[in-house]
Amino acid sequence: MSTILQINNLETVLHTPAGPVWAVDGITLEISKGETFVLIGESGCGKSMTALSVMRLLPEVGEIVGGSVRLGGVDLLLQPEIAMRTIRGKRISMIFQEPMLSLNPVMTVAAQIGEVLKRHFNLGAAATQKRILEILNQVGIPDAARRMEEYPFQFSGGMKQRMMIAMALAGEPELLIADEPTTALDVTIQAQVLDLLRTLQQRDGMAILLITHDLGVAAEMAHKVAVMYAGEIVETANRAQFFQNPVHPYSRKLFASLPGKARRRQDLPLAVIRGNVPPLSSEFTGCRFAKRCDQAWGLCHDAAPGWVEVSAGHKVRCHLFSESAKLEAPAGWLKKGATDAPQESSTKSRLLSPNHLIHEACLLSVSALKVYFPIRKGLMKRVAGYVKAVDGVSLAIYRGKTLALVGESGCGKTTVGKGILQLIPPSAGSVQYKGIELVRLERDRLRKMRAEFQLIFQDPYSSLNPRMRIVDIIEEGMNALAAGQKEDVGIAGDGPAMAEMTKAARVDALLESVGLPPEAKWRYPHEFSGGQRQRIAIARALAVNPKLIICDEPTSALDVSVQAQILNLLKNLQNRLGLAYLFITHNISVVEYVADEVAVMYLGRIVERGSVDDILENARHPYTQALLSAVPVVEPESRRHVMPLHGDLPSPANPPRGCHFHPRCPHVMQVCRESYPGISIFNSTHTTRCYLYPQDASASGEAQAEVQAQA
């Protein structure tokens, strides 16, 4: 295959007031026609800056100071800007990481795609409109003829991401750079996006540089893989070599950080890579991973490793594989291996109470919960209908247990969480916390109970006050809810010394517990990455010693290493303090590790529930089966059969008659179109709502309450 992109010793520096930051420090790679090259690594390693360097779209403080970037033999670094404008969008395109920030909010979809076509193709108005319509249909935008004249704010997150893909593909590029194209997407939409990229690649021979931290996506898409750490590439291999035998200690740690049911069943914590990616402004003398590596010895700190070929096409930058370096290693050191056991800090052990006696008692009981939003029209703003965001949900959460709530974006998961906490007034139903009815509870009494239950918001960007320092953000809840008093026994511990911890000490301990240095408390939210902001949001929730935490996608923006740290922290707190979690997520591997029970939600209603093993190993509802089939797997030999879901989630303002899922269901029958199914019971914990199974007329208790609520 012919080489499309050749990068040789690329060096990119950011000139900051604090000094130069070497974001890309001498990387070399090649991508051939029709090949997908996957670049993986933690946030802050330089992956996105590599992509921006190739596109020559660096920020004002950025400068490429060395190396070459050849596209089809043409060195892009030597081209004037006017020539680059003819190359961008035509020969090389990029799907940017954040569609919310990359789309022009005051331009229609058609206008934004039309800009690309106008620059690179000599098309008339009619031909341009026809081509825009073809592209939108190609990326799966429903009702494209109508929606092409709408604005970005009228689209969901998944639709925005498809718009970004459509814009990138409009110029029919030779090389597509995809920077986290599936981040925060539902697994169903993710499967569609990946299948689209594969189809276009096979049809047009397009090369893809895919940047991701999702090892499952990498296993599905990659022909070649490169692992990037602290500005440089430390391991390269083809897909089979890498996923069968990762050799660099950093690569192994990434795999060991992955959650799953095996570790849950063995009650094992996830492997944690201690520390953080070093600042790229640092002066490196040895291996850049040495301070975080379990196998490092003196040489690793003193000399930078060179490239070693462990097998044909599989290269690594590590002293462990250098024959000359092996002679200098301490006896038995090379047999030590990378441990999977996380290293808990003394701070973390201080934060956790030694209370291991957790009594299983119902902490939260939700019955027939409804949250409707009125649709007002006309001059008098009369109610013309309702958006039925939550339509009769019943669930129970027990002390020391985790209930995972899964489903596509727009199904009402977040609204359930906010309705439980009374952040959104429920339209009907009951929410009882420790036997106390929260619905329509007096404001003063509700405020006094706020410390008992907290919410980790989905979006760390908008949930933190940009004008407040981190110390003030965390202390705000402590002050308002009088957290940290001697009678509290939460995160501060049970001993007198812990009860008397100063507020400043508690803030420092909280930040360390979520993997941030104490000095971070003096900074503002805009100075942190998305993953770091999520860690701050978690620390804020833990600050008031809650008994119930509603976690709304708390790990969606995190690297697998940071995700492992957060999941270990949440599990540890749960085991020691008896915390209960409502865990809202679309990450099935996280569900496998943290959940005791799972509820699957579709269009405001729960369609299947059961223990985590019931749902993941014996799913009965077609929607649940489709969700699970769309989850990418890490094993490259494993080829899953994806059950395609046609169309999008229907509008909760006008839900389909009968079973809400029937317009997308591959097993739809006439009865599905006529009435909503009752409950089918498989065992004491596993139920579903589907006409494929016998309806249980004897359903009682909670099941009957749900039937009545949804009638």
pLDDT in tens, 128-147: 999 999 988 877 787 888 88
Return the higher-pLDDT residue of 99 and 356.
99
Average pLDDT over residues 624-639: 81
Confirm if 691 and 671 have CB atoms less than 8 A apart. Answer: yes
Alpha-carbon gap, residue 702 to 392, rounded angstroms: 12
Confirm if 215 and 634 have CB atoms less than 8 A apart. Answer: yes
Confidence of residue 270 (pLDDT cuts 50, 70, 90): confident
Return the higher-pLDDT residue of 186 and 312.
312
Strand partners, 404: 583, 598
Backbone phi and psi for residue 554, each to the nearest 5 degrees, phi listed first: -70, -15
Confirm if 565 and 554 have CB atoms less than 8 A apart. Answer: no
- And the tokens for 384? 């013309």
Average pLDDT over residues 29-44: 93
pTM of the model: 0.83
Q: What is the DSSP string of 593-658?
A: HH-SEEEEEETTEEEEEEEHHHHHHS--SHHHHHHHHTS--S-TT---------S-PPPTTSPPSS
Confidence of residue 44 (pLDDT cuts 50, 70, 90): confident
Would the pLDDT of 252 be above 60? Answer: yes
Residue 102 confidence (pLDDT): 82
Alpha-carbon gap, residue 227 to 254, rounded angstroms: 10
| Element housing 233 (H / E) | strand 232-238
| Element housing 140 (H / E) | none
Return the higher-pLDDT residue of 648 and 709.
648
Average pLDDT over residues 517-529: 88
Alpha-carbon gap, residue 189 to 644, rounded angstroms: 10
Specify the amino acid at residue 500.
E
Return the higher-pLDDT residue of 105 and 186.
105
Confirm if 243 and 635 have CB atoms less than 8 A apart. Answer: yes
Confirm if 423 and 595 have CB atoms less than 8 A apart. Answer: no
Confidence of residue 209 (pLDDT cuts 50, 70, 90): very high
Summarised one tens digit per residue, pLDDT across range 657-677 is 999 999 999 999 999 999 999
Percent of the chain scoring above 90 in pLDDT = 52
- What 8-state DSSP symbol labels residue 88? B
Greatest CA separation found in the chain? 85
Q: Identify the weakest region by mean pLDDT among 48-62, 81-95, 455-469, 652-666.
A: 455-469
Specify the amino acid at residue 609.
R
Sheet (strand 362-377) strand order: 382-398, 362-377, 428-433, 436-437
- And the tokens for 306? 């060179």
CA 440 to chain centre: 34
Closest CA to 458 of 532, 557, 541: 557
| Element housing 666 (H / E) | none
Residue 333 confidence (pLDDT): 57
Residue 704 confidence (pLDDT): 46
Task: Give Cβ neighbours of residue 629 (< 8 Å, ≥ 6 apart).
Answer: 640, 641, 642, 643
Summarised one tens digit per residue, pLDDT across range 50-62 is 999 999 999 999 9
Would the pLDDT of 355 be above 90? Answer: no
Residue 163 confidence (pLDDT): 87
Alpha-carbon gap, residue 155 to 163, rounded angstroms: 9
Q: Identify the weakest region by mean pLDDT among 25-39, 580-594, 596-610.
A: 580-594
| Residue 705, number of CB atoms within 10 A of its CB | 17
C-alpha distances in angstroms, 513 versus 302, 481, 542? 30, 21, 10
Q: What is the mean pLDDT of the chain?
A: 85
Confirm if 33 and 175 have CB atoms less than 8 A apart. Answer: no
C-alpha distances in angstroms, 475 versus 488, 489, 501, 539? 16, 17, 14, 10
Confidence of residue 369 (pLDDT cuts 50, 70, 90): very high
Alpha-carbon gap, residue 628 to 642, rounded angstroms: 9
Q: Identify the weakest region by mean pLDDT among 288-297, 305-314, 319-328.
A: 319-328
Alpha-carbon gap, residue 358 to 151, rounded angstroms: 51
Residue 589 confidence (pLDDT): 86
Specify the amino acid at residue 213.
H
Confirm if 605 and 660 have CB atoms less than 8 A apart. Answer: yes
Which long-range contacts (C-beta less than 8 Å, at least 24 apart) are formed by 195-199? 195/642, 196/138, 196/139, 196/140, 196/165, 197/165, 197/221
Summarised one tens digit per residue, pLDDT across range 396-447 is 999 999 999 999 888 899 999 999 999 999 999 999 999 999 998 998 899 8
Residue 1 confidence (pLDDT): 66
Summarised one tens digit per residue, pLDDT across range 543-577 is 888 999 999 988 876 788 888 888 888 888 888 78
> E strands along 306-425, which residues?
307-311, 314-317, 362-377, 382-398, 402-406
Residue 487 confidence (pLDDT): 40
Average pLDDT over residues 56-76: 94
| Residue 265, number of CB atoms within 10 A of its CB | 11
| Residue 356, number of CB atoms within 10 A of its CB | 9
Average pLDDT over residues 68-87: 94
| Element housing 420 (H / E) | helix 413-420
Alpha-carbon gap, residue 695 to 225, rounded angstroms: 49
Q: Identify the weakest region by mean pLDDT among 183-197, 388-402, 417-431.
A: 183-197
Residue 178 confidence (pLDDT): 93
Summarised one tens digit per residue, pLDDT across range 469-507 is 999 999 998 888 765 444 443 444 444 444 446 888 989
Return the higher-pLDDT residue of 113 and 349.
113
Q: Identify the weakest region by mean pLDDT among 108-117, 230-239, 362-371, 558-567.
A: 558-567
| Element housing 109 (H / E) | helix 109-120
Alpha-carbon gap, residue 503 to 509, rounded angstroms: 10
Closest CA to 667 of 624, 636, 637: 624
Closest CA to 221 of 40, 27, 6, 1: 40
Q: Reduce the secondary structure of 496-529 to three states and give it as a string.
A: HHHHCCCHHHHHHHHHHHCCCCHHHHHCCHHHCC
Which stretches within 267-410 are classed as H helix?
Answer: 298-302, 323-326, 346-351
Q: What is the DSSP string of 282-310?
A: S---S-TTGGG-TT--HHHHHS---EEEE
Residue 180 confidence (pLDDT): 87
Which stretches within 514-600 are classed as H helix?
Answer: 530-542, 560-577, 588-594
Residue 531 confidence (pLDDT): 67
Q: Identify the weakest region by mean pLDDT among 117-131, 426-440, 604-618, 636-650.
A: 636-650
Residue 21 confidence (pLDDT): 93
Closest CA to 602 of 139, 186, 141: 186
